[in-house]
A and B are shown apart, each in its own frame.
Chain A
Amino acid sequence: DTGVSQDPRHKITKRGQNVTFRCDPISEHNRLYWYRQTLGQGPEFLTYFQNEAQLEKSRLLSDRFSAERPKGSFSTLEIQRTEQGDSAMYLCASSQGLGETQYFGPGTRLLVL
């Protein structure tokens, strides 16, 4: 257990529905990252926050994806109008700062039917 938690661990949804995932980072970490991992691939960066500021969001896969970290603690990742191609593992990681080790949570596995 790295100290990063994610909820839910699994989510099955129907195409067109919206889903929201939550990540709770290690408490003293000010950087929080979201990644997507598909089968047989390494994690693919989506976005990250320093405290409550979202510093990079150009890698979000489409405008259906959005993320927030309103108080600089937990974060949410929302996917609107889900598509079957969104099926993947969504991983969250946190670090103490720039260039510091990133610790990953257990991930949320999404299946879009």
Chain B
Amino acid sequence: GENVEQHPSTLSVQEGDSAVIKCTYSDSASNYFPWYKQELGKGPQLIIDIRSNVGEKKDQRIAVTLNKTAKHFSLHITETQPEDSAVYFCAALSGNTPLVFGKGTRLSVIA
């Protein structure tokens, strides 16, 4: 089955700097890759997603890139703000199989 690895597990950046979180997946048939942000005591909130027919997608300060050949995808947050501090999860989906999540990255933005 699908296996998703996520790195780093923790990340600290200064306010205004960029943050990059990377994920790799194992199933070449995976075709949908969402990123979720989870704040303490809350459920995961979708922040951006990408499908396998697209290499990059951007939404204001957030961007995701996908390299299907290497089977990895990355989340980029620019001009980080303290409210970006949270745990971020990547996930991968292949056809009718369950969404498989990485173990998460705890991002701390230091003011």
Contact = CB atoms under 8 A, between A and B. Distances in A.
Interface residues of A, number: 24
Given A104-B44, A106-B43, A42 B93 contact: no
Question: Chain A: interface secondary structure?
Answer: loop
B73 to A, nearest CB: 15
Interface of B: 4, 6, 31-32, 34, 36, 41-46, 49, 89, 91, 93, 95-96, 98-104
Contacts of A103: 46
Given A45-B99, A101-B49, A103-B46, 10 more contacts: A2-B45, A42-B104, A43-B99, A45-B100, A98-B96, A102-B46, A104-B43, A104-B44, A104-B46, A106-B43
B103 A42 contact: yes
A101 B34 contact: yes
A91 interface: yes
A47 to B, nearest CB: 9
A95 to B, nearest CB: 9
B43 A45 contact: no
A48 B98 contact: yes
A40 B103 contact: yes
Interface of A: 2, 4, 6, 33, 40-45, 48, 56, 59, 91, 98-99, 101-107, 109
Contact of B98 (A40, A41, A45, A109): A45
A30 B9 CA distance: 34
Contacts of A4: 43
